[in-house]
Amino acid sequence: MILSLFRFRCVFLASVTAVITLHGGQKLRYHFEKGDSLRYSSSIDSKTSGQERGEDFVIIADADFDYTIRPGERTAGGNYALTVTIDRFHLRLDAPVLGFVDSTVILNEYAGKRLNVELTELGKTVSIEPIDLFPRWRFLTFAEMNPFELFQRLIFELPEQAVDTGSTWTNTSPDSTVQDGMAIRSNQNIGYRVTGVALKGRYRCWQITIAGRNSMEGTGKQSGMTLTTDAVNKLNGVVYFAPKEGVCVSAEQTIANDMTVTATGKQTGAQTTSSIIRVTTALIP
């Protein structure tokens, strides 16, 4: 049962810096050209502590993950049509409760898998759809590290208005999704602040801090059980956005997650977990 609840929990759930100058009053927009190729590398460290039926468990997972973004023709509505291809996925897992003890896994079955993404100039994700079939059990178990989540941690929503040092904006949009038969409702309140300018490699970037929270509720059925959940994510981080090129050059984020999952039906019980997830993503020169 621990494995079933943990999989559900996962489903439920993107150099040296130098001071430079950028002109204020810029409108930030993503910019992709057909024929371009942007390659990113992510590293993820996560630790989950939990309890089920009075038993404590700890799951530690670290991963290295590379992927490439290739733009296609714009959509009829003027949005970007992107193909995201996974190039490499290495995982180290220490989770006795799941049958893994300090195991390193090279997930070759992920190599070459692709996603179709429709994205607006402001970074709103219209849709993410897999082109290829992703390995099911691993995709669920390591959802914090799946391609959907990692891409969305790199692409954040930009403001309509022009920005300068000190500018702020907030994203409070609610969302409803269905994943693996689970209806998930979320409400987020994420704040962004332009704190300065920095040089990342050859890119002149705005440094933008991120802080906020996302509350989620979910209901559904899996493996003969009716599951309900309640969770809160707290997010802090910084992203470096190059306004001239219209790309996110790097991102560093920490996510703290507290979750309770309750099961009734074929099996009954509850699982509480607390996780700390650190994600660092950078554009590969």
Give the pLDDT means over successive 10-residue stretches in the chain (285 positions).
49 35 73 93 87 78 88 94 90 74 71 89 87 62 54 79 92 71 78 94 94 84 76 91 94 89 76 86 92
Question: Given phi > 0 = left and psi -120 to 50 = alpha, else beta, which region is 5?
Answer: alpha
What pLDDT score does 106 carry? 66
CA distance 143 to 91: 13
Strands 182-200 and 174-179: antiparallel
pLDDT of amino acid 157: 87
Global pTM exceeds 0.85: no
Tokens encoding 285: 């020169």
| CB atoms near residue 18 (< 10 Å) | 10
- Residue 234: name the closest of 189, 186, 185 by CA: 189
CA distance 184 to 148: 15
Element (H, E) at 7: helix 2-12
Half-sphere exposure of 158 (CA within 13 A, CB side): 27
Confidence (pLDDT) at 203: 95
Q: Coil, strand, or helix at residue 181?
A: coil
3-class secondary structure, 108: helix
Q: Comparing C-alpha atoms, which of 33, 101, 99, 40 is closest to residue 71?
A: 33
Q: What is the pLDDT of residue 173?
A: 74
Residue bearing tokens 């404590």: 56
Tokens 């020169």 belong to residue: 285
Contact 90, 104 (CB under 8 A): yes
